[in-house]
């Protein structure tokens, strides 16, 4: 069973790249969300193990998202990802999951 990962980002091209890079790992399945509402809706309909917060998310949104996710799943792992290539992304995810 694949690990479900929700990637949230404000820049569509970067978000698409992050989702593609995550999905390159056969053990992972990423879903992308560009807005707070999309992210909260996706989170409420799927059992995610990890949330990736991309750059460009305002502090207010980040706080709102984290509160909403933790209300639904207190054990959710939330990682801030600011880019730096696929190697860094993969390492961040492995580190967060272990």
Averaged pLDDT score across all residues of the chain: 94
**Percent share of the chain, pLDDT over 90:** 85
Question: Which pLDDT tens digit goes with each residue over 8-56?
Answer: 999 999 999 999 999 999 999 999 999 999 999 999 999 999 999 998 8
User: Which pTM does this prediction carry?
Assistant: 0.94
Q: What's the CA angle centered on 87, arms 85 and 91, to 5 degrees? A: 120
- Annotated domain spans of the chain: 7-58+71-83
Contact 68, 43 (CB under 8 A): yes
> What is the side-by-side order of every strand in the sheet holding 28-33?
28-33, 3-8, 50-53, 77-80
CA trace torsion 50, 7, 72, 91 (10° rounding): 10
Main-chain phi, psi angles of 75, to 5 degrees: -95, 5
């Amino acid at each position: 069973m694949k690990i479900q990962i929700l990637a949230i980002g404000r820049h569509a091209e970067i978000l698409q790249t992050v989702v593609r890079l995550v999905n390159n790992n056969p053990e992972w399945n990423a879903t992308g969300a560009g807005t707070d509402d999309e992210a909260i809706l996706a989170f409420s309909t799927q059992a995610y193990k990890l949330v990736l917060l991309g750059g460009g998310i305002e502090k207010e949104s980040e706080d709102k998202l984290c509160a909403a996710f933790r209300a639904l799943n207190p054990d959710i792992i939330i990682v801030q990802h600011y880019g730096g290539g696929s190697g860094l992304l993969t390492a961040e995810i492995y580190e967060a999951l272990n």
